[in-house]
């Protein structure tokens, strides 16, 4: 193994803690610098790490450092493309939180810049590289369910305002249940069944206002500016059909997270917002657990960085690719367009199904 991939973090908010917990136990990457609009937060991250980490005054200062090989972009979604393009222009690889960008134009700009610079861009979620999704994928690839016919994917909740003290951004343009949680479910479906070629959708906005349920602003109301219940049918390139429900309007449900149905058996797949969990198969004799057969063991947020580091060393494609993230973004935006236009629409982008983690 060569030298660790040296990482500079942009954005030291809450999610950075989950990444740090993983980075601390990875040997293939090493945190060397951090920056944040709030210098105090950046200093807190630097202080947590067991070796010296530089606190850069700005993003420009961080990407100019010789001890940064790749930028871990943990900024707000609206800034994802801007930070990625700044890092690429400085000759740095990028790993970013989801989504890749706010829209298709920004996503295309990031892909083009990386291609022209000969650099790598990776993007969350890396949860799909854990043992849950990868064990299910191996079952599909090994033919345990026969020919895949369909899948279901459900993310239902009563809304983030019940627990989040400042939930408004979930209900503004760029928010909503699909863009918030869809990347986990759609990335898993692409790993399991391949890219999507066509979508049909419908959506609704049952409530014009929401009420904050916790924190110092509890009881305050705010307007809902996006649809909060989205239903879609996705046609995969291999012919399987996935039914998707993403909702902030379901008080409670017994719905499974993901199921995949084939001509010979069905699979139950855990929440793709996590890395591990039981995978079960039903071929006529009740649900039976499958042993863990694939995926990164004891994975956490940041495992995708280790995958990127390994791919750079081996000269092979990394799995949490920007192309996959751009396709997932396009599928979500096309589904919202299909719902608004009340018709089926083709998905014009595609991607390679990432290599399995075996």
pLDDT at 295 (0 to 100): 98
**Using one digit for the tens of pLDDT, what is the confidence trace for 60-74?**
999 999 999 999 999
141 CB contacts (<8 Å, ≥6 apart)?
A: 356
CA distances from 80 to 98, 203, 248, 268, 320 (A): 8, 27, 24, 33, 16
How far is it, in rounded angstroms, from Cα 139 to Cα 293?
9
pLDDT at 75 (0 to 100): 94
Give the pLDDT mean for 231-236. 98
Give the pLDDT mean for 172-197. 96
Among residues 126, 176, 152, 180, which one has the least CA distance to residue 305?
126
pTM of the model: 0.95
pLDDT at 268 (0 to 100): 98
Q: Considering the chain, what percentage of its residues have pLDDT values greater than 70? A: 100
Domains of the chain, residue spans: 5-123, 129-294+321-346
**Using one digit for the tens of pLDDT, what is the confidence trace for 12-26?**
998 999 999 999 999
Give the pLDDT mean for 303-307. 97
- Say if residue 291's pLDDT is above 80: yes
Superfamily of chain region 5-123? NAD(P)-binding Rossmann-like Domain (3.40.50.720)
- Say if residue 140's pLDDT is above 80: yes
Banded pLDDT at 2 (limits 50, 70, 90): confident
Q: Which residue has the tokens 């999704």?
A: 133
Q: Which residue has the tokens 């020919």?
A: 147
**Using one digit for the tens of pLDDT, what is the confidence trace for 310-324?**
999 999 999 999 999
- Say if residue 144's pLDDT is above 80: yes
- Say if residue 1's pLDDT is above 80: no
* CB contact at 8 A, 137 and 294: yes
DSSP 213-250: -SSTTTT-EEE--S--EEEEEEEETTS-EEEEEEES--
Banded pLDDT at 51 (limits 50, 70, 90): confident
Give the pLDDT mean for 74-89. 95
Q: Which residue has the tokens 């010296």?
A: 52
Give the pLDDT mean for 33-56. 95
Query: Crossing angle, helix 104-117 and helix 322-341, to 10 degrees?
Result: 160
- Say if residue 148's pLDDT is above 80: yes
pLDDT at 181 (0 to 100): 95
Residue 269 structure tokens:
């797949």
Give the pLDDT mean for 332-355. 97
How far is it, in rounded angstroms, from Cα 98 to Cα 118?
22
The four Cα atoms 81, 84, 85, 87 give a dihedral, to 10 degrees, of 160
- CATH code at 129-294+321-346: 3.30.360.10
């Amino acid at each position: 193994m060569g030298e660790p991939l040296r990482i500079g973090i942009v954005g030291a908010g809450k999610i950075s803690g989950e990444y740090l917990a993983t980075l601390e136990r990875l040997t293939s990457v090493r945190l060397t610098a951090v920056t944040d609009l709030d210098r105090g937060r950046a200093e807190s991250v630097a202080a947590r790490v067991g070796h010296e980490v530089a606190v850069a005054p700005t993003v420009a200062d961080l990407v100019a450092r010789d001890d940064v090989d790749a930028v871990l972009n943990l900024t707000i979604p609206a800034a994802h493309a801007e930070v990625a393009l700044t890092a690429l222009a400085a000759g740095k690889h990028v790993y970013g939180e989801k989504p890749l960008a706010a829209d298709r134009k920004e996503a295309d700009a990031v892909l083009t810049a990386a291609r022209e610079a000969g650099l790598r861009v990776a993007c969350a979620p890396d949860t799909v590289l854990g043992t849950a999704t990868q064990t299910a994928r191996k079952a599909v690839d090994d033919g345990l369910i026969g020919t895949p016919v369909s899948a279901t994917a459900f993310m239902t909740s009563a809304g983030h305002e019940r627990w989040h003290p400042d939930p408004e951004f979930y209900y503004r343009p760029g928010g909503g249940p699909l863009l918030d949680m869809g990347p986990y479910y759609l990335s898993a479906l692409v790993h399991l069944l391949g890219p999507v070629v066509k979508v049909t959708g419908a959506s609704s906005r049952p409530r014009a206002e929401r009420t904050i349920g916790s924190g110092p602003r509890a009881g305050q109301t705010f307007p809902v500016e996006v649809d909060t219940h989205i239903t879609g049918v996705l046609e995969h390139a291999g012919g399987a059909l996935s039914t998707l429900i993403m909702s902030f309007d379901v008080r409670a449900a017994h719905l499974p997270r993901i199921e995949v149905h084939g001509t010979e058996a069905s699979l139950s797949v855990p929440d793709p917002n996590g890395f591990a969990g039981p995978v079960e198969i039903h071929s006529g004799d009740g649900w039976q657990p499958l042993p863990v057969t694939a995926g990164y063991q004891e994975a956490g947020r940041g495992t995708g960085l280790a995958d990127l580091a390994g791919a750079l060393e081996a000269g092979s494609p990394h799995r949490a690719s920007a192309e996959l993230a751009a396709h997932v973004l396009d599928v979500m935006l096309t589904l919202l367009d299909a719902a608004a236009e009340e018709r089926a629409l083709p998905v014009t982008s595609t991607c390679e199904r990432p290599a399995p983690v075996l």
